[in-house]
């Protein structure tokens, strides 16, 4: 992510909606989700946890 490279499709990287507009999430492991965004060229990590913990 830091280098701007695309993630493998297995990571299910996608944009978020609602209160998380501007952020993306990707699956680090099957039930470990990372919420992040690229802002002003900087990677910002917002939250990490299981899907049920985050949503």
Q: Strand, helix or coil at 18?
A: helix
Q: What is the pLDDT of residue 22?
A: 98
Residue 2 inside a domain? The answer is no
pTM for the whole thing?
0.91
Share of the chain above pLDDT 70, in %: 100
Active site residue 51: yes
Q: In what order do the strands lie in the sheet with 32-39?
A: 14-15, 24-29, 32-39, 42-49
Q: What is the pLDDT of residue 55?
A: 86
Q: Structurally, how many domains does the chain consist of?
A: 1
Residue 14 inside a domain? The answer is yes
39 vs 54: CA distance, rounded Å: 21
Are the CB atoms for 26 and 13 separated by under 8 Å?
Answer: yes
Its domain, for residue 41, covers 9-54
- pLDDT, tens only, 8-32: 999 999 999 999 999 999 999 999 9
Residue 22 inside a domain? The answer is yes
Residue 25 inside a domain? The answer is yes
| Catalytic member of 30, 50, 51, 53 | 51
CATH number at residue 19: 3.30.2310.20
Residue 24 inside a domain? The answer is yes
55 vs 52: CA distance, rounded Å: 5
């Amino acid at each position: 992510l830091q280098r701007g490279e695309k993630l493998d499709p297995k990571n299910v990287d996608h944009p978020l909606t609602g209160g998380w507009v501007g952020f993306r999430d990707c699956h680090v492991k099957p039930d470990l989700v990372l919420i992040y965004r690229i802002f002003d060229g900087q990677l910002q990590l917002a939250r990490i946890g299981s899907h049920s913990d985050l949503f």
